[in-house]
Chains A and B, each alone.
Chain A
Amino acid sequence: DVKVTQSSRYLVKRTGEKVFLECVQDMDHENMFWYRQDPGLGLRLIYFSYDVKMKEKGDIPEGYSVSREKKERFSLILESASTNQTSMYLCASSFGHRLDTQYFGPGTRLTVL
Chain B
Amino acid sequence: DQQVKQNSPSLSVQEGRISILNCDYTNSMFDYFLWYKKYPAEGPTFLISISSIKDKNEDGRFTVFLNKSAKHLSLHIVPSQPGDSAVYFCAASRKGAAGNKLTFGGGTRVLVKP
Contacts and interface: CB of A to CB of B under 8 A. Distances in A.
Interface of A: 4, 9, 30-31, 33, 35, 40-45, 48, 50, 56, 58-59, 90, 92, 94, 96-107
Contacts of A103: 43, 46
B104 A92 contact: no
Interface of B: 2, 4, 6, 9, 32, 36, 41-46, 49, 89, 91, 93, 97-107
Contact of A102 (B100, B103, B105, B106): B100
A84 to B, nearest CB: 18
Given A94-B100, A97-B100, A42 B32 contact: no
B93 A50 contact: no
Given A44-B104, A101-B46, A104-B44, A50 B9 contact: no
A44 B41 CA distance: 18
Nearest to A49: B99
A9 to B, nearest CB: 8
A93 B70 CA distance: 31
Given A43-B89, A99-B93, A103-B43, 9 more contacts: A31-B100, A40-B107, A50-B99, A97-B100, A98-B32, A98-B99, A99-B49, A105-B43, A106-B43
A44 B43 CA distance: 14
Contacts of B45: 104
A31 B101 CA distance: 9
A40 B103 CA distance: 14
Nearest to B43: A104
A106 B99 CA distance: 22
A58 B107 contact: no
Nearest to A100: B100
Contacts of A45: 101-103
Nearest to A50: B99
A90 B87 CA distance: 15
A51 B4 CA distance: 27
B108 to A, nearest CB: 10
Nearest to A43: B104
Contact of B98 (A4, A56, A92, A101): A56
Contact of A4 (B9, B43, B97, B104): B43
